[in-house]
Chain A
Amino acid sequence: MAAPVVEAEASGRAATRPPARERKNAKFSVHFAHYKWLYLLLLPGVLYFAVFRYGPMYGVSIAFKDYVPFLGVNGSRWVGTQHFEDFFSNPDFPRLLGNTLILAFLNLGIAFPLTIVLALLLNEVRLSVLKRTVQTLVYIPHFLSWTIVASLSFLLFALDIGPMFQFLNNVMGTNIDFLSDPAWFRPLIVLQEIWKNTGWGTIIFLAALSTVDQDQYEAAIIDGAGRFRRVWHITLPGIRSTIIVMLILAIGQMLNTGFEQIYLMTNALNRDVADVFDTYVYFVGITQGAYSYSTAVGLFKSLVGLVLIFGTNWLAKRFNQSGLF
């Protein structure tokens, strides 16, 4: 009896929508009795979020206290919004905000479209052996840790001895210390991001591309559409909703500029452009023990992220009516 319902429920949100409307009229107890096993299955997920996601949030309260570990969260003195005031009036604040936003938009503006471009290119490869080989090869960098990516950069761009340094020196006659020149910090970060994650990011787009109706391509070919016409008028509209969902998710993560990557690439000479919220929270919170202050900074960052994700969702709905939620 229950089995078909289970399947219908499990097959995704889209399928559950019509029954949901019908259910509205039914009494909750009847409804609950009917679906009790499903609710039971839901329980671990709810517990997980309650215990590991919502429970720890009480710790956020230290952003409003002068937290001393020995005194505990409850025993520490309440200082209200003192830490936020300190942070916003700190001369570091505009610099951190600027650095974080610039890096975030560079990553979003350059790395995100490149993922789509790469997916489209891969999609056009006819020879499936070649396609699969290339796909595997571009996934590999994703599995290397940032420590290794940073070490590789240091080897390649090292002053005087790095192969890339020597190459650019010989070909272009440049003599730039890429690793410590503040002007080269952001390009290096974006390049690393592209190198590491573009290939991996194509997975979802490739999956979306495989669902585009093949008949449309045949029709377009008969109509005499060239390759670019087909990409522009069939492929891209076909994966538009995927692009928008991925964009909203990417924007939600935008301010997470990546602690490890930036921390590893920072040095005394480029710190002015390198400091972002994540590294600042580490530096102030962990190395200086200013837990309350750094929690306030982290909380601010999360709020900005929340605003961004809702804002994009709202925009997407206005223009497409297919947001994330």
Chain B
Amino acid sequence: MIRRKLTLAAAVVTVSALSLTACSGGGNEPAADLTSVSIMAPFLEAQPPSADGAVQKKLEELTGKDININWTPNSSYEDKTNITLAGSDIPQIMVIQGKTPGFVKNAEAGAFWDLTDKLDKYPNLKTTFPDIQENASINGKVYGVYRGRAPMRAAVMFRQDWLDKLGLQPPKTTEDLYKVAKAFTEQDPDGNGQNDTWGITIPKWGALGTNSPYDLIEEWYGAGNRWTEKDGKLIPSFETDEFLEANRFVKKMVDEKLINPDFATFDGTKWNEPFFNGKGGIIVDVDSRVSVLVNLFKQADPNNFQNKVGFVGNLEGPDGELHAHPTDGYSGFLAVPKASVRTEAELDKVLEVLNTMNGKEVATLLNNGIEGINFTVEDGKAATMKPETSEGKAVSTDIKSYAQLGMNVAGNNFYPVKQASDYEQQVFDKRTEVMAEDLKSAVYNPAAPYVSATYVAKGAQLDNIVADARIKYLAGQIDEQGLKDAIKLWDTSGGNKVKEEINKLWQDNK
């Protein structure tokens, strides 16, 4: 009896010890003739697309390769990128989400192929926006095929019904924005007889240079876009007088309660709620939020949702000029690690695959789906198939993730999406029109391509000094002198060195 029990114990021990050593394996060498391509990409949906879905099959059919995509949750993507690079099983193509310190260090240590002189050889990888490619580079070195994004997105959204009720015009200048915000706060735009509304809703969003409402207003005031040229040198936009002016303007609105009082803590995921519920009538953000807001009203009342949401693009500053705030124009890039693609010959084959993926056929697949299954083409636009089949729905769901692989470096090589109703189509067309018009007055970040070593090492800590001071100033915890002191502290804590390095890179590349 006892002996049997002990043998059992021994067996349990042995098995569990074996299972500890059983987790080896993996790390396949890439085939020389490249029959398969492995890609690491983020997914933002609740679940990654299935590996045997229709989109996957079509993608393999169009490229003629086995495509193995390692879908990684977006929230931990940066960590996984670094862990992957430190490991032995490295994919041939990696989606890199931006010039993060981690990526820059790896790239400068030689982890990725330098594609600067390579991309132009491939018709679909040759960009028609060289400026954006330059912005996505590290000091002029292109380490990946950038993922193109709308270059202009800044917009001011407001409750159109409130504006009509108070007999106001849509804002054109920052001064108009103040007037509308004041009227929304004080003139009872919802007509309930109570003083329970405010003008602009701003969520907890303090970091510098992240296209926050503060960044937008500063740029409209002429402070520049992160960096600006002054007396032949580049300085950070927060060292301009316009930066202080813009924040005085925002502070005036905070003090007069035209902005939600909890702007320092308000949860950004609830940003639409005060707008929809009739508390705060203005949102300053990207123009795609217009369609989100319209959709909210549509869901609440499908028969009467028009004319609830109005919007304009960028606003003129107090100098009477339009300094429109563009985006970086890209969202990361697809890079090729040297550890998995060893020779130039292999690199050429991988780039050929990327070239195919950037062609019209694959771009349509990744962004629109499969024609006849989830969409049909109507007047050159992709309209959702009615009625939706379960197969079509699966494709529509999957492409939300596959679109992450789209690069579109030569403009959008696929169909624009047809909106659900005429009104929504009008709104969409107007958005496109306004953004195209604003793009002509865009003020770009002159330092975008340059990466300073000091900034990589401690840029985020440095920027936090100014970003926190900005919020503290607006909340009244410190005065303007305190804000100026914080900007000086940025300089002395390492900012002066960042300025020196950026200016040197800028001069060298001029």
Contacts and interface: CB of A to CB of B under 8 A. Distances in A.
Report the contact-size class of chain A (Cβ under 8 Å from the partner): 35 or more
A284 B2 contact: no
A44 B85 contact: no
Nearest to A51: B20
A287 interface: yes
B461 A284 contact: yes
Contact of B264 (A44, A158, A269): A269
Given A47-B17, A68-B105, A268 B472 contact: yes
Contacts of A51: 20
B109 A179 contact: no
B105 A268 contact: no
B300 interface: no
A37 B6 contact: yes
Contact of A267 (B20, B204, B339, B493): B204
A301 interface: no
Contacts of B493: 91
A310 interface: no
A160 B261 contact: yes
Nearest to A178: B265
B62 interface: no
Contacts of A37: 6, 9-10
B267 A154 contact: yes
A73 B87 CA distance: 10
A40 interface: yes
A268 B264 contact: yes
B264 A41 contact: no
B458 A288 contact: yes
Interface string A1-15: 111000000000000
A154 B204 CA distance: 13
Contact of B468 (A159, A160, A268): A268
12 contacts: A69-B82, A69-B86, A69-B105, A70-B105, A154-B265, A180-B262, A267-B265, A268-B467, A269-B264, A287-B78, A288-B458, A289-B78
A124 to B, nearest CB: 41
Contacts of A289: 78, 82, 100-103, 105
A1 B265 contact: no
B85 A69 contact: yes
Contact of A180 (B17, B110, B267, B475): B475
B288 interface: no
A269 B475 contact: yes
Nearest to B108: A68
The listed residue with most B CB atoms (<10 A of its CB), out of A91, A283, A290, is: A290
Nearest to B110: A70
A191 interface: no
B460 A283 contact: yes
Contacts of A48: 20
Contacts of B204: 267-268
B106 A68 contact: yes
A192 B234 CA distance: 47
Interface in A198-231: none
A40 B102 CA distance: 44
A81 B26 CA distance: 36
Contacts of B471: 267-269
A41 B17 contact: no
Interface string A268-300: 110110000000000110111111000000000
A91 B105 CA distance: 25
B264 A267 contact: yes
B9 A41 contact: yes
A44 B12 CA distance: 10
A199 to B, nearest CB: 28
A180 B254 CA distance: 15
A290 B457 contact: yes
Given A2-B6, A71-B109, A269-B477, A40 B83 contact: no
B262 A179 contact: yes
Contact of B83 (A41, A69, A71, A73): A69
Contact of A44 (B16, B100, B106, B265): B16
A69 B264 contact: no
Nearest to B475: A269
The listed residue with most A CB atoms (<10 A of its CB), out of B111, B264, B467, is: B264
A260 interface: no
Nearest to A162: B262
Interface residues of B, number: 45
Interface of A: 1-3, 37, 40-41, 43-44, 47-48, 51, 68-73, 91-92, 154, 158-160, 177, 179-180, 267-269, 271-272, 283-284, 286-291
Contact of A43 (B13, B82, B262, B468): B13
Nearest to B205: A268
A67 to B, nearest CB: 9
B222 interface: no
A288 B457 CA distance: 8
The listed residue with most B CB atoms (<10 A of its CB), out of A48, A70, A180, is: A70
In the A-B complex, list the 3 residue pairs whose CB atoms are closest, starting with the nearest.
Answer: A289-B102, A70-B111, A268-B471
A314 to B, nearest CB: 36
A160 B261 CA distance: 8
B79 interface: yes
B109 A180 contact: no
Nearest to B467: A268
B20 A47 contact: yes
A249 B173 CA distance: 61
B206 interface: yes
B261 A159 contact: yes
Given A69-B111, A267-B204, A267-B471, 11 more contacts: A1-B2, A47-B17, A159-B261, A159-B265, A180-B262, A180-B475, A268-B472, A283-B460, A284-B460, A287-B460, A290-B457
Contact of A68 (B109, B460, B475): B109
A113 to B, nearest CB: 31
A115 to B, nearest CB: 30
A204 B270 CA distance: 41
Contact of B79 (A2, A268, A284, A286): A286
Contact of B78 (A68, A180, A286): A286
Contacts of A283: 460-461
B106 A159 contact: no
B502 to A, nearest CB: 18
A153 to B, nearest CB: 10
A290 B101 contact: yes
Contacts of A286: 78-79
A318 B109 CA distance: 54
Interface string B10-23: 10010011001000
A159 B111 CA distance: 49
Contacts of B83: 69
A177 B261 contact: yes
A269 B262 contact: no
A70 B206 contact: no
Interface string B89-104: 0000000000011110
Contact of A158 (B9, B86, B262): B262
Contacts of B105: 68-70, 289
A272 B2 CA distance: 64
A73 to B, nearest CB: 8
Given A268-B467, A269-B477, A287-B460, A70 B20 contact: no
Given A68-B105, A180-B475, A269-B264, A2 B2 contact: yes
A283 B109 CA distance: 23
B91 to A, nearest CB: 14
A158 B266 CA distance: 9
A181 B103 CA distance: 37
